[in-house]
Each structure stands twice: as C-alpha cells, then as structure tokens.
Structure 1
Amino acid sequence: MVHIKYFLPAVLFSFLFLLPVAEKVHAADIYDSKILVELANDPFWMQLLVYEKTKSGKFSAKSAISSPSFFLSDKGSEDPHAELKATIDAFFKLDAGLPNEHAQCVFRARYIWLNGKLELDKYLPQKIDCSEYDNWTGYNQVKSLSVVYATGYLGNPASYYGHLLLKLNGDGSEGKQRLEDVTVNFGAIVPENESMLPYVIKGLVGSYDAGFTHHQYFYHSHNYGQNELRNLWEYELDIGPSDVELILAHIWELRGKKYRYFFLNKNCAYRMAEIISLANGIDVVPPQDYWVLPQTIIQNLSQNTINDENVVLNKSIVPSRQSILYEGFKELNVAEREILLGLINRKITYDSPEFISLKVENKYRLLDVIMDYYQYMIIKNSDSESDILESQYRLALSMRFTLPAAPRVEPAKQIVGPESGRKASYSSFGFLNNKSSSETAIQLHIRPAYYDELDYGAAHVAHAGLAMGELSLLIENGRVDLHQLSIVNVKAVNSNATGLPNDSRRGWMLNIGVEQLNEQCSPDCLVPRVEAGTGLSWTNNASRYLVSGYVIAGAQKNIFDYGVFDVSFQSDLSLTLSETVRAVAKARVATGLSDVNSRYIYSFHLRKELNVNSDVRLALTKNEGSSIGLTFGHYW
C-alpha cells in the first residue's frame, strides 16, 4: 500500500496545476518524504541513473552519463533525491502538444519502475501516448533478450578481447526475421581516420565519449562474421516479460546519451553488464573493475542462476565464414583434399573420374567445403577477382543441386563456447634458478589478461598469445627486482589455415615492454625494448602442433655495446601433448645492425593443467647465461 501524504482524487489534482499559485507546486510533495528518501537510495534507482559503483560495490553520488539531457534536475547527476523529485514532477505535467517529448515517454524505465512503487497511474492528471517508444519496441513484439559475444579480433586493439552486444528477439524470430532483430551496441565515438597510437592512448585514459547505438542484427552479423571473420555466440536470457520491458525502456532512455569510454574497464563489457543486471536476480558486473573483459561477463552470466535455474535459456553460434570453411575442411580425408585442391586449381573437373567415383555422401561434404571456400575468398579478395570466384561458386552450387536433396553435414566436433574457458587473469608463484650466478630467487608473476601460447582455450586463437600489463618480479636476498614487463605482447597466427590457394598462413607479432638483456647479467641489465615481426605457420589437421618462422625487427636501449637496432630470425614449435599438457620451444638468432656478432637464444616452456583454473609450469632459457624456473599458477 502506498503512503499518501494528501489524498486527492485525480480530477482535483489536475485542477491544482491549473490554478494560479504564489509558490510552485511539486507533485512529489503528495508522497511521504520518507518513502521518497527510501526510493532515492534504492540501488535500482541508482542503476537507472547510471550512478557509478565504488570499489566496495556501493553506488557513488556521481552518474557515468555526461549528457545534461539525461537529468531533469540541475543536480541530478550527483543528487538522486533531487532527480527523483524532478522526475515525479515532470510525469505530472500536462502534454504541451509534443507527447513523445513528455517525461513519461522520454524516461520510460523510470516511469515503469516508479509506477510500480508509487502507483502513479492512479494520480496522474494525464497518461501520455508514447507512439515513438511503442514503435521502437515493435508494440511489445520483443519477447526475449540475448547477449551476443563476438570473439576477439586482432585487427583492432579495442576488439582484442572480444565484444558484447544485446539482441532484442522478436516474437518467433527465425531466419530472415532473426537477422532483422534490433541489436544494441556500446562503443567509443572515434573521429574518422584516427590513427592507431592516439586511438589506443585516448582509449586507455578515457578521452573518448561513448554511447549506445542500435542496428539490425544483420549489420553486426555481416560486419563481425563476414568482414572480420569472428564467431558470434548468442546467449538467450531466461527472464520474465517485466524484466524485458524494463531493460528495453532503459535502453530507450540511454539513446544518444554520452559516457566516458575507458578501454580497460568502462567498456562494452561493463556497460552491457550494467544493462542486463537490471533483470531481477542477475548480477554479472565484476566486483572489481580495474579491467573488465567480455569473456568474463559471459562466464559470470553462464554461472548465474535464478531460483536454481540457469539464467541462460539457450546458447547458439553463428560461425564466421572462416570457421565454417576450416571446420568443414578438417572433416575431409586426404583423398578428398587432393580432389578439392584439383578442383580449385582446375586440374580436374566435376566430370573427372576422381569426382564422379565418390560416394554421394562424400560429394556432399566436398561440395559444401568448396562452396565455403569460394564464399570465404570472395570476402577476402578484391572486386576484380570476385566475378571469377562467384562463377566458380555458382558452378559448385549447381553441382550440389544435381545430387539428391540432403541437409548439410555438420562437423563432428563442435566449437567450444567462451563460457567454458578458464578465468581471464593469471598469477603465479615459484622459483627461478640462474645458473650463471648459482642463485635461486622467488618469482612472482601477474598477467591481468588474457592468454598465451600455452593456455589458449575456448574463444582464443590456438597457438597464439595476447597479453597486456604482464609483470614478473624476482625476490632474492631481501631485494626485489623487475624481471620483465610487457605493456603489450601479441602473437597472431592462422593455426587453422587450410593451405588452399590464397588462404594465408601468415602471422605477425608485436612486443612492447621492458626485459632483461640476457640471463648472464640478470637482474642488472633491464632494458626497454620494442619488436615486431612477420612470419608463416604450418600445422597438422588436428592442430596438435604448429611450426612457425618469423623475421623480427627490434629496438632497445644500447647497453654493453649490443646496439640499438637488431634483426632476428626465430623458429617456434608449439605442441599439444595431451588435453592437459602443452609445450613451446623457440630458437632465435639475433644480429645487431652495428655488431657483426650474433646472439643465440633458446627457450623451452612446458605447462601442465591441474584443473580449469590452475597449472604448473617449467621454463628453461639459454641466453648467454641459462636459467630454470618452476611456477604454480592460478586463474582468477
């Protein structure tokens, strides 16, 4: 029961606003002041105003939104009580001829929530028809919501760790209708032609505005799945109609409103987590926000339950064009691959005995893969080559139609979802013995994100690595030394490349940080270093191993006459020995441009997974001196 300070019939209350008065009348004054204070301090009201959370998990008195139009009180961005009273006052105003600009329509989520708390509809002098809002929501056609996770994309630093979207599922969305569903996105507002370095720096320090936008799902499916070749994982939420309505209304309120964008924490993952946490019983916002990753939100969501039922109702994947090709190619046997290559190179035709003699089911599989190949090549190649590729695709398609009707043969091995992986951050403790000094030091290691060549998992690129802010310390005889700091360390490989024409095996690497020059002078020869390289990789069908070769250009501080610039040739061997054991061996020859002497650097790393969130590692290094290390790690 709502406590009313003064009970007035709705008609009499309407006249109150029409009478000339000496002092301004506040609609909020009809409600008990204690009730208003309680509502103003309610965490849900704070969420609707997008007040930032402190490290303790409590709400601060400051909204994340910088747009003045989001607040009805001059103090609304810092005073939730003042904003509550101003909101109630605005709801009771009469329509001035622009109904869609009335507060009942503009601040729809506030209206729905406050109506449930204060029974506004009983006392409002006028209930406004919000036609634009109704049209945007499809007149209650949105029946459920899905969180969509786009896997990482190494072509853009802001997308290294993946991206989150929120999909508004229409009634019975399937096929074409599914692609027409509205999808909500959060991202930085970046000027056109912004170069990479300013983009990264501004994203880290919060110099960009950001906001929510929406497009049809087709737009994102094409951009991520076709252009950037990223898998899209969809997690449909098992929440009630009232939660769906409230989240939709809040998204409506946030359209065009500006935030400050921070690449590491107040990013797409954090803001999407805020949105879906409006649903009753869902809490996926990480307790600490020094860095927030999309995969972490997906893992939190998959572990979230309401009344002992998982909040994820359904999970599905829209594989990228590249993933479809690679998974299908893995299903082909050696003979089928030879026929495939012959067809692509036009050394054999569909009338050749090699193809005609195949069983029908083998023809299905082969034709599906060759059509996937041409569609993949059409995306990758220029317009001048697309006509030829299109004609070859249509030829394969026509051959497929000559066979008896049958569904596409799906790969036997299904792609593992990102919710199944380990946690994103890593720390370890162990010992490092330097053979040159015969000293053993305690080694502490922390990697805020994300993965390396030994612990890649679900939603990561096999045999690749991506780390930022990785730090290693040595403690010996009461002395603490910095052993290594990687500001950014990326190794991009195409470990699933088919070897078919124009399916590149090329990869690249980038490392910016501080490291010990060699093991002999460690820990007293710390130097800043930048290196970048390019190379090629080869793997077997099961991706149990990867052989890579790189040419690397590097620059570092000149100490001990090593010079500033050097060129290196490096070979890597990455092995998956079992489901829980992986190893990486590397050999490098580095030559300084001002020094004829070459340096030879060797390393071997072995990892044994103890459980999904812990491991033990062995590291052997020879770089003038030699060292051996043993560490125990935990993911968090």
Structure 2
Amino acid sequence: MLRPLLLLALCSASTLALSAPPDDSTLRSLADEPYWHSLGHYESGKLGGWRSYVDDDDFFLADGGEHDPAAELAATLAALYAPASAGDRHPQCVFPARTRWLRERLSLTDLPTVECKEFRTWYADVAPHSTVLVFPAAYLNSPSSMFGHTLLRIDQADIDTQGSPLLSSALNFGAYIEGMDNSVLYAWKGLMGGYPGLFSLLPYREKIGEYSRLENRDLWEYRLNLTPDETGRMLEHVWELKQIRFDYFFFDENCSYRLLELLEVARPGLRLTAQFPLTAIPADTVRAVIDAGLVADIDYRPSRERELLTRTAPLESEELRWVRQLADDPQQLERDDFQALPSERRALIQDGAYRLVRYRVTGEERDPANAAHSYRLLQAINRNPPPRLDVERPVLPENGHESRTLQFGVGSRDERAFAEYGLRMAYHDLIDNLEGFPLGAQIEIAQLRLRQYEGNHWKLQRLDLAGIRSLTPLTPLLRPWSWQIAAGLERIAEGDGDDRLVGHLNGGGGFTWQLREDLLGFALATARLEHHPEFGAVISPAAGFDSGLLWRNGAGNLLLEARGDYFHNGEVRRRISLAQQFELRDTAGLRVGLERSFSHRAEPETEFQVQLRWYFY
C-alpha cells in the first residue's frame, strides 16, 4: 500500500531532499538502537540477523524490511518526505510513532506538513492519559483462558474525578478467528500458530462484561506509572498496528508478550520481552511488569460468580432454598412464610436470588421473562436493601509459584532403585504450592520425566503433552461439572517384568464435593484411548473411573486417588496412590508419593518416591 508512495518520494528527491541528509553511519547507528527494534518488533534471528514478529507486508516500506532494520529505517525516512497531498495515506499519518522518533532523533524541521485527520480524530477520541494493566484470572472452562489473559486499559485525564473506567478504552491482542472452530481445534491451532493475531481497541465496559460476567473471571487492575507522554507514545504505535497481522501462539507470541512490546515502546529502555525467550505465561508477565517498577496501585473486581457465593455464604440451608425459589419464581416474595422471616434475612435472600438470576442468564440473549424476574426482585431489594457486599480479596495471582518446574526424585519400584529427573514447562498440578491458585485446578503442559535405574539404565518414563483437571465443587446454588483431559506417553507394566511406553489420550467428567473448607472429594467417569504395540488394535479403548480426596493441610496439599481402566480386550488396570506436597518456600516443594498398581498383564507393583521440585521461570 505504501510502497508506491515511497517510489514517488524517491523520484522527487531532487526537489524534496533533506536539507542536511544524515550520513550512512548515522543511519546505521539509529537502526541499531533498541527503540527502533521495538517499533519494528524485531528480534535477533536464531542463526544471526534479524526478523520481525510482524507477519504483514503492509507494515514494511522496504523490500525485505522484516529482516533488515537498516533498510526499513532508510525507507521510512525517505517516505516521510512524500508530498503532503497523500493526506491520510501519507507515511507520516500511517506511522506517527516512527515519525515522532525520527523527527526527534534527527531534528527534522523540514518535513512536509500533513494534517492526518483520521489519526488525530481517533487519538482525540481515545484521549490517552494513563495506563492500567488488566489481568483476568485463569478460567479452566475456556481453552483460550486457561492461563489467564492480559490487556491494557487506556484512561482519560479526568478518570478519577469526573469519569468512569467503564468509559475507557481496552487495548487487546488476540487470535483472529473466522468461522466457528470447536474448543479442541481452537486449542490445537492456537498451539501451532494457526491463527493470525491482531490488536483491537474497544470500550472497556465490553471487556468487563466478557470476563467478569460471561466467563466468571476475577479481574485484577494494575495501574501503571506511565506518564501521559509515554501513554500517548504507545497509542501512536497502536495506530501503526491497526489491522496489522502477527503470528499468534498460545505459549509465547500471545496477548501478554505483545503487550510487553507495547510497554517497551511507551518507556524506552525497558527490557521486558527479553525475559521470555520460550514461553510467556500471563501471570509471569504480570510479575515482570511489577518487578520493573511499573505498578503504582492494584485494584480488584470480583466475578459475578464470586459475588453470588459471597452474598449467599451466610445463609442457612432453608434460606438457600428460598434463594432458589425466588430465582425461579419472584411471586414467592408475597408468601406469608417468606414475609415472616426477619427483615435482614429477607434482604440477603432477595439479593442472592437476584444475583442467581443474573448468573443463570450469563451469555444469553435478553429474555423478557428473565428481565421481568430481575425487575421484580430489584423492586424488593430497593424496599429492603441488604448491607454492602464486601468480597474478600484473594491472594494476588502473581504471588503464586513461577510457571516452570525442575524435578529431582529418588525412589524404588519393587526393590529397583531409581533416580528421576523432570522438567515441566507450565504450570501447576493439584498438589503444587497452592498460594495464588484455586484448590482443585491443574494445568500441566509439556512435562518430561527421565528415570535412571541401577546399572545406569535410562528410560523415558513420561512425556506429557497436556494434563488439565478442573475439580470445581458443587454448591447449593451451582452445579458445575468437574472434568479432566490428558495426552502423552507413559510407561505401563508388562507381564515379563518389564514395562512399555504407550501413547494415550484420556479424559472424564463427573462431580466434586466440598466436604470441608479445605477438603474436596471427587468422582469422575473416564474414557481412554491407547496405542499399545502388544494389543491387537492400533487404538484400544477403555472405560473407567477416577475418584479421590484432595486435602489442603498445614504442611501443604495431599491427594489420595483411586483409578481404574477396563479395556475392550479384557485388560484391567487399577491404581491407588497417595501423595503429599510439603511447601518448603515459594520456589520449592518436597513431594512424597506412594503408589500401588494392579494389572492383568503384570504382577502388582509398589512404587515409592521422594521428589524435590523447584519452581522458576
């Protein structure tokens, strides 16, 4: 789009030449500056040279500019002198951040004067003054949200006195999806870079609705200490990225990584992205922003689900029954036995019923009957208002352990001693150090475990691609499903006293119960697909179960679990295991495990292991 303008500028060089053109050494020096690399989203190539993360020809003015920062700088400088008649398509209008930087660094006083109406109107509408980093917490029931998400809120100057954050703009980077991909396809294409990534700017109130209500996610808002000029500089670069495509990968080139790049544009000298050469888990990037001294204040917005559970927590079982009845039929408000309840208890019940109605219709189109239900309950609430709802602020998500884990263990399997070495790229299992994570949540990605038996005999014990578990307890008002899914390679005992590496995909669904505040019980029906060289079929299916207890205790977390798989060919496997994690410190844990396994193809085996786990990035 802009290359014809560049040619026009070059052809007109005799009449539009720079009054004092910079020499080649000056241009090379500028092209080597980190800030120019930030504006072009350049990174050092693995085999030398440069490459840009931008995957869109419209972003570059020079042929090969995605690999040559110096050529792109020279082409940009020449293009800035194109005739002003190009209007909003002039390079000064399309690249305001580049223009500002080159004007300042080279003292360019003879650039053509271009009005740039579209950019200036857009910039005035956003009115950037300050920046807030927003972190919607992890939500296991959405593949795109398992690790959480980050976005930026751009506030106007009067936000604290005359405005509302809901009127601010939300700056988001995400995968651009055409069509209706299902969750499995979405996760696969997200892992493999199958979607382009785009920046978008939209009203913050829409994001509030999407995350805290539609997806029932808590929101953390980190007010950054960027100056108005730094915020404005960042927005100028956002204009340059309008409809510009990047590759999108869940684990590295994702929402959080792209926003770190914007912060490096806002404040020259920041080195945020360099900390994430392999993966960029949102919680880790939030921690990096805090460590860089960018955070001035932190606010918390609870999700609709958390507000409902907090409001109804003081209610007795009979009062909770009234909450369900009123949510189903507000006419119950007129019943004599309800009106006979103390006024303060009716206030809590009515407010709980209203919140339950709003929770049930989350994500649905407006329904007149539900709207009428809500209105009737609101009338009752206005006549008898409940006390102010104070939601206890959870532990800050960045206070949890870091996402990568090194593991070293020693143990024995039926009197054969071994040492085990493991690496997990991300990021938490059921009994890892719990602070900053919900009890009953597990997301493990890319885990490798190697064993060294006596006699220096090495084996690949496991290679897990993914292991996700969501054990969300039932409540008197909510009945969420618990579920799990896992895929990878694992060792299975054989009848000859040896074991074999098999591929598997398994999952299941069921329910979890809150037996005590710190104790969960769960029971799931499961299914398994296995590729076993000794079985007749290429893929062998099995049905089974997975049940157990998860206990948060004074030392850490304990998991007692029983599993069974019943294959179509008659093979039966059962396993019972007990594991306790001792939380030594934020960055370390000690895990003790005992397991007894049974199989039709092998004798029963007992395994004991003590494992040291180190959390790091």
Q: TM-score, length-normalised on structure 1? A: 0.86
2:395 counterpart of 1:416: yes
Cα distance change on mapping 1:194 and 1:593 into 2, 3 Å: same
For 2:210 and 2:499, the matched residues in 1 are separated by: 49
Q: Is the 8 A contact 2:133 2:151 kept in 1?
A: yes
How far did 1:470 drift?
A: 1.3
Q: State the one-letter code of the partner of 2:380.
A: M
Q: State the one-letter code of the partner of 1:224.
A: Y
Q: Is the 8 A contact 1:142 1:171 kept in 2?
A: yes
Q: Provide the residue aligned with 2:260 in structure 1.
A: 273
2:445 counterpart of 1:468: yes
Report Cα offsets for 1:206-233 as digits up to 9, x if no partner.
3432221222112222222222222222
Q: Secondary structure at the match of 2:479?
A: coil
Q: Provide the residue aligned with 2:422 in structure 1.
A: 445
How far did 1:21 drift?
A: 8.3
Q: Provide the residue aligned with 2:146 in structure 1.
A: 160
Deviates more, 1:199-208 or 1:393-402: 199-208
Q: Provide the residue aligned with 2:215 in structure 1.
A: 228
Report Cα offsets for 1:347-401 as digits up to 9, x if no partner.
96465456644353x4444333222111101226787xx5444433333221211
Aligned residues: 597
Q: Provide the residue aligned with 1:10 in structure 2.
A: none
Q: Secondary structure at the match of 2:191?
A: helix
The correspondence of residues 195-344 of structure 1 with structure 2, limited to 5 A, is 195-280=182-267, 282-305=270-293, 311-332=294-315, 336-337=319-320, 339-341=322-324, 343-344=326-327
Deviates more, 1:152-161 or 1:567-576: 152-161
Q: Provide the residue aligned with 2:159 in structure 1.
A: 173
Q: Which stretches in structure 2 are left out of the alignment for 5+ residues? A: 1-7, 599-604
The correspondence of residues 429-508 of structure 1 with structure 2, limited to 5 A, is 429-434=408-413, 436=414, 438-455=415-432, 457=434, 460-476=437-453, 477-495=455-473, 497-500=474-477, 503-508=478-483
Q: Secondary structure at the match of 2:476?
A: coil
2:169 counterpart of 1:182: yes
Q: Secondary structure at the match of 1:30?
A: coil
The correspondence of residues 529-544 of structure 1 with structure 2, limited to 5 A, is 529-540=504-515, 542=517, 544=518
Report Cα offsets for 1:281-327 as digits up to 9, x if no partner.
5433253422211111111112222xxxxx21222233222222123
Deviates more, 1:19-28 or 1:226-235: 19-28
Q: Secondary structure at the match of 1:27?
A: coil
Cα distance change on mapping 1:633 and 1:350 into 2, 3 Å: farther
Cα distance change on mapping 1:218 and 1:519 into 2, 3 Å: farther
For 1:20 and 1:575, the matched residues in 2 are separated by: 75
For 2:186 and 2:249, the matched residues in 1 are separated by: 11
Q: State the one-letter code of the partner of 1:514.
A: L
How far did 1:609 drift?
A: 0.8
Q: State the one-letter code of the partner of 1:215.
A: L
Q: State the one-letter code of the partner of 2:165.
A: R
Q: State the one-letter code of the partner of 1:93.
A: A
How far did 1:439 drift?
A: 1.3
For 1:444 and 1:211, the matched residues in 2 are separated by: 39
The correspondence of residues 383-398 of structure 1 with structure 2, limited to 5 A, is 386-398=367-379
Report Cα offsets for 1:510-546 as digits up to 9, x if no partner.
111111224987862221111121101111463x111
Q: Is the 8 A contact 1:299 1:418 kept in 2?
A: no
Cα distance change on mapping 1:205 and 1:22 into 2, 3 Å: closer
For 1:550 and 1:487, the matched residues in 2 are separated by: 21
2:60 counterpart of 1:71: yes
Q: Provide the residue aligned with 1:622 in structure 2.
A: 596
For 1:170 and 1:182, the matched residues in 2 are separated by: 9
Q: TM-score, length-normalised on structure 2? A: 0.88
Alignment partner of 2:91 out of 96, 103, 106: 103
Alignment partner of 2:31 out of 35, 40, 61: 40
Q: Is the 8 A contact 2:130 2:155 kept in 1?
A: yes
Cα distance change on mapping 1:105 and 1:556 into 2, 3 Å: same
Q: Secondary structure at the match of 2:503?
A: strand
Deviates more, 1:230-239 or 1:170-179: 170-179
For 2:378 and 2:79, the matched residues in 1 are separated by: 61
Q: Is the 8 A contact 1:516 1:522 kept in 2?
A: no
How far did 1:272 drift?
A: 1.1
Please report the RMSD computed on the Cα atoms of aligned residues, expressed in angstroms: 3.1
How far did 1:25 drift?
A: 6.4
For 2:65 and 2:29, the matched residues in 1 are separated by: 16
